[in-house]
Amino acid sequence: MVLFRKATVNLSENELRATVQEDLNSYLMLRRAADDLVREFSQSGLLERRVDNLQPAERKQIRALWRDGVMAFLEFDFLKEKYRGFYQIDYVAEPELHANAFMLAYMAYVTQYDACLQIVGMIGDNDFMETLLNEAGEGIPSDSYFVMKQRLTNPNVMLRMNTGAAYRELIRKDVSIDAGIIADFDLRKNHFYRSLGTHADIFIDNPLDQLERTAFETILPIQKKVAVRMSYIRTARRDYLITPEILAGCRSRLSPGDILIQRRNWHMTNIGIPGFWPHVALYVGTPEELENYFGEMDADVLKKIKEQYPAVWTQLNTSAPDGYPRCVIESIRPGVVLQSLETSAKCDYLAVIRPNLSKKEKLAALMAAFSHYGKPYDLNFDFTTDNELVCSELVYKAYKVAADLPLVPEVINGRLLLPPNRLAETSVKNMGKDGAFSFVLFLDAIERRDVVVERDQAAFCQSWQRPKWDVMQQ
């Protein structure tokens, strides 16, 4: 596994530790996504229904939930594959790092399979429901439920489970992952073992041939060479396709208050975030740009920022670590920060949309965003609190203070939120001369050629419907 081949990836021990910690947060988000999916299916009873009795809205709900589940299971695969080579960390020299890397892979494996088994148990022998889930379309690949079920019933599952449990005992003393996380994992592991005993019938007549020949197990039909490249990209930190030079050619089109919609291919921070677009940010502009844009309306705009938000003012007048001016506010792990455009938009896909509001309203939105500067990132993805924020929450709450944009959070898996992809969809449906948003820019990646091309409004308007993972695109 390439993550721990230092000659290839050139990661220091400190960088490896930081990577493990970041991926532990990804595991926690995936764990929550799996729990939400199982709970929603369990409480609604949808998987136990007769398909011929389903209303159109119920069919749509089942398909939407299953699509999110497929994506979550795929992301578990990515996490497992990333740490498949944990053994390459010298246990004698770095016992804690070795043990934590192993636990990440082991926890991802068990948590994924426990959720899969619960879903299989709900469906039982409902062949019509299996057919509904196996249908391709709406971001769901063909035969996705069949592949998931066959992997789950592979006899090697118990071999891997037991081998993992045995090795875990050997390195137990060196694991430094939070005790609460480990305790939760042990409950899941025990639940999985108990559940296997009540679903022994699913191990009958399991056609394993195609699965046994697959070197990289995944719920989607990803070719091995693609999977290897994906793993290298995400762990070797390959350069993103949008460069400072590309941004320099587009920067003059940006205005304070613009919303930046971003995507980084094969990035672990995409985990747990539904849809093609996983991140949004607010373009602030430099002090000079702010004065030029808002000065005629409010000659004291810079003075007000300095007086009300001195920490923000200091940041805006201090170059970012990359040497470029700070001009973007966004919520990333670990929290709300001010960054350069060159760092924020260091991605593979970038769209820019502009709220059709007055300058007074845009300034109010930026000032509202500044009020959240320094707050931590919300790993629970919950819009009901202000003490922690996710990226789309920052944008939503900034403009909520300033104007009545058609951005409406919704309850998804028990949480009030507005995913970035839904924000993009909403902007598309409210775009135009008389709409709430205007199109500014769309930089689209063609990864197989490692190039970025500028596309028009029509292309952006279709982008939110793309599959979450680029490998699924035709």
In sequence order, the β-bridge partners of residue 140 are 137
Burial of 296 (0-12, 13-18, 19+ CB in 10 A): exposed
For the cut 70, the answer to whether the pLDDT of residue 462 exceeds it is yes
Q: State the virtual CA torsion across 19, 22, 23, 27 in degrees, nearest 10.
A: 170
Q: Strands of 437-446's sheet, edge to edge?
A: 335-340, 326-332, 279-283, 259-263, 349-355, 437-446, 451-454
Q: Is the same domain home to 230 and 257?
A: no
Cα gap 115→148, rounded to integer Å:
11
192 or 273, higher pLDDT? 192
Q: Is the same domain home to 365 and 398?
A: yes
Q: How does residue 211 score in pLDDT terms, banded at 50, 70 and 90? A: very low
Per-residue pLDDT, averaged over 147-160, amounts to: 75
Comparing C-alpha atoms, which of 446, 408, 412 is closest to residue 425?
408
240: DSSP letter: P
For the cut 60, the answer to whether the pLDDT of residue 353 exceeds it is yes
- Mean pLDDT for the chain overall: 82
Phi, psi of 215 (to 5 degrees): -70, -40
270-279: per-residue pLDDT in tens?
666 778 899 9
Assign 48 to helix, strand or coil.
helix
For the cut 80, the answer to whether the pLDDT of residue 191 exceeds it is yes
123 or 212, higher pLDDT? 123
Phi, psi of 386 (to 5 degrees): -110, -10
Phi, psi of 260 (to 5 degrees): -95, 125
Q: Pick from 181, 212, 236: which residue ends a domain?
A: 236
CATH number, residue 341: 3.90.1720.10
Tokens of residue 425, six digits: 């969809």
Going through 88-157 in order, the beta strands assigned E by DSSP cover none
Q: Is the same domain home to 232 and 263?
A: no
Q: Is the same domain home to 164 and 258?
A: no
Please give the pLDDT value at position 207: 36
Tokens of residue 141, six digits: 């690949």
For the cut 70, the answer to whether the pLDDT of residue 328 exceeds it is yes
216 or 322, higher pLDDT? 322
The answer to whether 354 and 438 are in contact (CB under 8 A) is yes
Please give the pLDDT value at position 392: 93
Q: How does residue 414 score in pLDDT terms, banded at 50, 70 and 90? A: low
Task: Report the number of distinct structural domains present in the chain.
Answer: 2
Please give the pLDDT value at position 85: 77
Please give the pLDDT value at position 272: 62
Q: Is the same domain home to 225 and 343?
A: no
196 or 364, higher pLDDT? 364
Q: How does residue 141 score in pLDDT terms, banded at 50, 70 and 90? A: confident
Q: Is the same domain home to 166 and 268?
A: no
Q: Is the same domain home to 315 and 377?
A: yes
For the cut 60, the answer to whether the pLDDT of residue 249 exceeds it is yes
Q: Is the same domain home to 251 and 121?
A: no
Please give the pLDDT value at position 7: 30
Please give the pLDDT value at position 269: 60
Cα gap 262→270, rounded to integer Å:
11
281-307: per-residue pLDDT in tens?
999 999 999 999 999 998 999 999 999
Q: Pick from 189, 214, 236: which residue ends a domain?
A: 236
Please give the pLDDT value at position 25: 84
Q: Is the same domain home to 98 and 187?
A: yes
Please give the pLDDT value at position 470: 56
Share of the chain above pLDDT 90, in %: 42
pTM: 0.66
Cα gap 441→456, rounded to integer Å:
7
Assign 354 to helix, strand or coil.
strand
For the cut 80, the answer to whether the pLDDT of residue 198 exceeds it is no
For the cut 80, the answer to whether the pLDDT of residue 447 exceeds it is no
Q: Pick from 236, 259, 289: which residue ends a domain?
A: 236
**Residue type (1 letter), 262:** Q
Q: Is the same domain home to 140 and 161?
A: yes
Cα gap 21→15, rounded to integer Å:
10
Q: Is the same domain home to 21 and 120?
A: yes
Please give the pLDDT value at position 238: 57
Per-residue pLDDT, averaged over 384-411, amounts to: 89
Q: Is the same domain home to 289 and 163?
A: no
Per-residue pLDDT, averaged over 209-225, amounts to: 35
Vertex 457: Cα angle to 452 and 463 (nearest 5): 65
Which range marks the domain in which residue 97 is found?
Answer: 2-236
Please give the pLDDT value at position 404: 83
Per-residue pLDDT, averaged over 337-360, amounts to: 96
For the cut 90, the answer to whether the pLDDT of residue 237 exceeds it is no
For the cut 60, the answer to whether the pLDDT of residue 473 exceeds it is no
Phi, psi of 146 (to 5 degrees): -60, -45
16-64: per-residue pLDDT in tens?
888 888 888 888 888 988 898 899 899 888 888 888 788 888 888 888 8
377 or 281, higher pLDDT? 281
Phi, psi of 229 (to 5 degrees): -65, -40
Alpha carbon distance, N-terminus to C-terminus of the chain: 27
Going through 376-474 in order, the beta strands assigned E by DSSP cover 410-412, 415-417, 437-446, 451-454
Please give the pLDDT value at position 199: 57
Please give the pLDDT value at position 128: 87
For the cut 90, the answer to whether the pLDDT of residue 362 exceeds it is yes
